[in-house]
Amino acid sequence: MLKNIAIAGVTGAVGQEFIKILEQRDFPVKSIKMLASSRSVGKTVKFRGKDYPVEELTETSFAGIDIALFSAGGDRSKQFAPAAVKAGAVVVDNSSAFRMDPDVPLVVPEVNAEAIKKHKGIIANPNCSTIIANVPVWPLHKANPIKRMIVSTYQAVSGAGQAGMDELFNQTRDVLAGKAAVCKKFKYQIAFNIFSHDSKIGPNGYNEEEMKMVKETRKIFDCPDIAITCTCVRIPVPRCHCESINLEFADSITPDQVRSLLQHAPGVSLIDDVVDNRFPMPLDAADNDDVYVGRIRQDESLPDRKGINIWVCGDQIRKGAALNAVQIAEKLL
Residues annotated as catalytic are: 128, 241
**CB proximity list for 277: less than 8 A, separation 6 or greater:** none
> Do the bridges between strand 268-270 and strand 291-298 make them parallel or antiparallel, or are there none, so unpaired?
parallel
Cα 259 → chain centroid? 24
With 0-12 CB in 10 A as exposed, 13-18 as middle and 19+ as buried, what is 192? exposed
Give bridge partners of residue 313 from the DSSP assignment: 242, 292
With 0-12 CB in 10 A as exposed, 13-18 as middle and 19+ as buried, what is 140? buried
Give bridge partners of residue 207 from the DSSP assignment: 201
Q: Are 234 and 270 in contact (CB under 8 A)?
A: no
The set of long-range contacts for 160-163, using a CB threshold of 8 Å and a minimum separation of 24, is 160/185, 160/186, 160/198, 161/12, 161/13, 161/14, 161/185, 162/12, 162/13
How many Cα atoms occupy the beta-carbon half-sphere of 35 within 13 Å? 24
Q: How far apart are CA 227 and CA 217, in angstroms?
A: 10
Q: How far apart are CA 274 and CA 103, in angstroms?
A: 45
